[in-house]
Structures are given as C-alpha cells and as structure tokens.
C-alpha cells in the first residue's frame, strides 16, 4: 500500500528549524517536521500541509505561504507502510519566539528550535534529515 503525506519545515529567522519531538511509534523521541496524511477532503497537498501544521502546532499558515522544498519517496521510509511518499514544504518565519505560539498535538512532546549548523541525521526520525539538508546547505 502506498500513502501520500505532507510535511512542513519551519525555518525560523533563517538560522534554525522548529522541530517536533515525536512521542509515538515509529521514531518516538526523534525530531520530525510537523505533518501527516493527505485526507480525502484536502484540496491539494498545500492545503493538507497547512491543515496538518495547524493540527500539530496551532500555527495558522495559509497554503499560499508554503513553498515546495522537495519530495521524499523511497520504500521503507515509514515502517507502517509498504511505500510512503511525502511532499515537503517550507515556511519561513521571522519570529524567534515561535515556541511561545505553539500548541502541540498529542503526537509530540515538545518543540525545539535547532540551529541549522547543529542539524545531523541522528536527531531525525523518518528521513526528514534529507529535506533538512537542503535548507542547511543554503546557509
């Protein structure tokens, strides 16, 4: 079975990523982008990403503010499915106090601002580091 998901990389002040510490299987304890499944009622993947961002963080970001970062697509990226394809968007936010505006869902235990120069593959769940590297390389 193949599923379609969306993720959002929140770039804060051009120097850090806002990442969620996942508290459930798979990858409990690892850092991930907010995201989830595209649902039947979603107009498109941007709308799904905007909805998931709100559901997981409480942030209201209109779909038109989201910019395509890339697509993550390989077998085994999520052990729950045969194949999972994720459309990854980014949103740039200038507010360094983003953590005070976050309302976490039950899927995450905390939100962390991780400086781009401190990102490494060991921190991440799924294959989100592959998308984070693109942002890191911009700097």
Is the distance from CB of 67 to CB of 89 less than 8 angstroms? Answer: yes
137: pLDDT confidence band, cut at 50, 70 and 90? Answer: confident
Nearest to 56 by CA among 96, 128, 8: 8
pLDDT at 96: 62
Collapsing DSSP states into helix, strand and coil, what is residue 92? strand
104: pLDDT confidence band, cut at 50, 70 and 90? Answer: confident
Architecture of domain 2-138 in CATH?
Alpha-Beta Complex (3.90)
pLDDT at 138 over 90: no
Domain edges within the chain = 2-138
99: pLDDT confidence band, cut at 50, 70 and 90? Answer: low
Mean pLDDT of 102-109: 80
Listed range (44-58, 84-98, 109-123) with the worst mean pLDDT:
84-98
Q: What percent of the chain has pLDDT over 90?
A: 71
Q: Note the residue count of the chain.
A: 139
For 78-94, the pLDDT digits (tens) are 777 778 899 999 999 98
Query: How far, in Å, are 5, 43, 51, 85, 134 from residue 88 at the CA level?
Result: 9, 16, 14, 10, 11
pTM of the entire predicted model:
0.91
pLDDT at 134 over 80: yes
CA gap 51, 133 in Å, rounded = 24
Query: How far, in Å, are 61, 66, 102, 103, 133 from residue 58 at the CA level?
Result: 9, 16, 6, 5, 25
Is the distance from CB of 104 to CB of 110 less than 8 angstroms? Answer: yes
């Amino acid at each position: 079975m193949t599923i379609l998901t969306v993720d959002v990389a929140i770039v804060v002040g051009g120097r850090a990523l806002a990442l969620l510490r996942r508290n459930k299987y798979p990858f409990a304890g690892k850092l991930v982008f907010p995201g989830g499944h595209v649902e039947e009622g979603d107009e498109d993947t941007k709308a799904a990403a905007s909805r998931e961002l709100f559901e997981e963080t409480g942030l209201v970001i209109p779909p038109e503010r989201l910019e395509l970062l890339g697509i993550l697509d390989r077998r085994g990226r999520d052990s729950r499915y045969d194949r999972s394809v994720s459309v990854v968007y980014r949103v740039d936010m200038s507010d360094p106090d983003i953590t005070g505006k976050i309302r976490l869902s039950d899927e995450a235990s905390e939100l962390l601002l991780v400086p781009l120069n401190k990102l490494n593959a060991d921190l991440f769940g799924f294959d989100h580091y592959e998308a984070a590297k693109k942002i890191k390389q911009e700097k």
